Amino acid sequence: MSFGHVPTVGVGELAEADFLLDVREDDEWQAGHAEGALHIPMSQFTARFGEVTEAAPQDGRINVICRSGGRSAQVVMYLAQQGLDAVNVDGGMEAWAAAGRPVVDDTGAAGHVL
């Protein structure tokens, strides 16, 4: 599946303080996510767009993540059309976990990527 040119960032290039938007569905989020990420499922994204603009850093980049990169690439294209600085996290939560980054569940315990 091709999304044209979507700006990407590798997991290793992300700092702990970087803003992260997780667009996976609720069951995926509950099983395991990056601590501190904002969760807005892609299926609810356009309806909840205002939450992104409120939470995102005013002059900062929005790093968008999903399981492997397909859904987040679509959201990045939408954000770019709205004039926002957004990048797709290459490899998604699978790459996040593979890189040894912490994955937590809804209770804050160790989680896993669905």
Question: pLDDT digits over 54-80, tens only?
Answer: 999 988 899 999 999 999 999 999 999
Question: Rounded CA gap, 82 and 91, in Å?
Answer: 24
What confidence tens digit (pLDDT) does each residue in 22-61 have?
999 999 999 999 999 999 999 999 999 999 999 999 888 9
What is the value of pTM for the model shown? Answer: 0.94
Per-residue pLDDT band at 4 (split at 50, 70, 90) = low
**Residues classed as catalytic:** 66
- Give the model confidence (pLDDT) of 91-112 as tens digits: 999 999 999 999 999 899 999 9
pLDDT recorded at residue 2: 47
Residue 70 CB contacts under 8 Å (≥ 6 apart), including other chains: 1, 3
